[in-house]
Copies of this chain bind each other. A is one copy, B any other.
Amino acid sequence: MSVEQGAFARATRVSRRSDGSFSAEIFPDWCIGSRPNGGYLLAIALQALGATVPYEDPIVVSSHFLAAPVAGSAEVAVGVVRIGRTLARAEARLTQDGEEHMRVLAAYGSLGGHAHGSQLMQEGPPSMPEPEACIPVLATTPDGRTSPVRSQFDIRYHPESVGWASGIPTGRAEVKAWMRLADGSPPDAALIPLLVDVLPASVYDLGVVGWVPTVEMTIHLRSRPRPGWLLCATQCRFASEGIMEEDASVWDADGVLIATCRQLALLPLASGQAG
């Protein structure tokens, strides 16, 4: 039985080369403006890491973004750092024309193998109307850039999120949205960084305008994503000194925590380039 690959799988496919590294292709229709967002690059790197380490689940992934590449061919070199009894650590370097654009450190394990008697959750999922009561915002970014990658998703925003898109920033740096792939493909762990990064920056609702380049992003995976809607909630608590953090959590429709994410980004007035 042949299974047709979904658009996400095709856009993040890697091929092992004879020297052990991987070749990849960055597609323009998975970019924001002309730049691939960091979450997309990390999704590509996770395919190469997952093909290398002996455990299935990317439990914790740290990604440092050095400079934005362009659409086109790229290379991912994976190095094993340490294989342990429960975790395997590896690094990945994404390069384009010999220049490094992203460095990743990851710990892979098996979420099934970590089963624990009790769930000590202190917080549940954020309150959210059903997807049918939410709104599909089709706006560009506040400075007018289009987001081709957003068309790859079916996104339903909380009616009180993304006020900037209708001209009235809410003053609360929060975005909540139901998300799924537009072509109906089921999500996997590699999709998580793209999910959280494809949403508009939460600080747009504080009146911030412009590109918010991510310096670093960390993903903690808690459960394997299951088919259906995923609830993504992002929040910025501290935007100061030209720097902001954005926290995200991802939940499935049954209220199971799938992942948390934190990223550090530069505010537009401070810099137009991540370094």
A115 to B240, CA, bound (A): 8
Q: A275-B89, A275-B107 are in contact. Are A237 and B122 (CB under 8 A)?
A: yes
Say yes or no: B121 contacts A238, CB within 8 Å: yes
Determine whether A273 belongs to the interface, using a CB cutoff of 8 Å to chain B. Answer: yes
In the assembled complex, which residues on chain B have CB atoms less than 8 Å from the CB atom of A245? 220, 260
Q: List the B residue with the shortest CB-CB distance to A264.
A: B60
Once bound together, how far apart are the Cα atoms of A267 and B120, in whole Å? Answer: 11
Contact B62 A120 (CB under 8 A): no
Task: Name A residues whose Cβ lies closer than 8 Å to a Cβ of B.
Answer: 59-60, 62, 64, 66-67, 81-82, 84-89, 91, 100, 103, 105, 107, 109, 111, 114-117, 119-123, 172-173, 203, 206, 208, 215-216, 218, 220, 222-223, 235-245, 257, 260, 262, 264, 266-267, 269-271, 273-275
13 contacts between A and B (CB under 8 A): A62-B105, A82-B275, A85-B273, A85-B275, A87-B275, A105-B105, A114-B271, A116-B242, A120-B208, A123-B237, A220-B245, A222-B240, A222-B241
